[in-house]
Amino acid sequence: MSSTELKTKTAPLPTSSPETSEMLPSANDFPTTSFVLKNAPQHLKPTLAVACMNCPLAVWLMREKTLECYCRTLCMTVWETNKPGNIRMCDAPEQVKAEALASGL
């Protein structure tokens, strides 16, 4: 299957720019697939949507006073409550889907 046949089914996250007053979606408006993120206390969660919220390669974990996201693609922590990252878009979820299609899953 060629890369042109693989179409994304989700719209990219809107970004704000100096020319527009368009705001990034809040994390509450962006659904998540993470059990940990769904059940974490609100004050620990991201306030803006990050790509990792729906990524099958993201590992969210809750410590005593922080929430963290470890990326299995980058092999590093990419988001923490006290040091939030700002990854808005990432190729990893689409790469996982492409690999699943290629393997017949």
Total-model pTM: 0.67
Please state, in angstroms and rounded to a whole number, the distance separating the CA atoms of residues 34 and 60.
7
Q: Please state, rounded to an integer, the average pLDDT across all residues of the chain.
A: 78
Ranges of each domain in the chain: 34-102
Residue 81 has pLDDT above 90, yes or no: yes
Residue among 53, 58, 66, 51 nearest 13 (CA): 51
Q: What is the pLDDT confidence band of residue 69, given thresholds at 50, 70 and 90?
A: very high
DSSP label at 19?
Answer: T
Q: Going along 1-105, which residue ranges are E strands? A: 58-62, 67-71, 76-80
Question: What's the average model confidence in pLDDT over 44-54?
Answer: 90
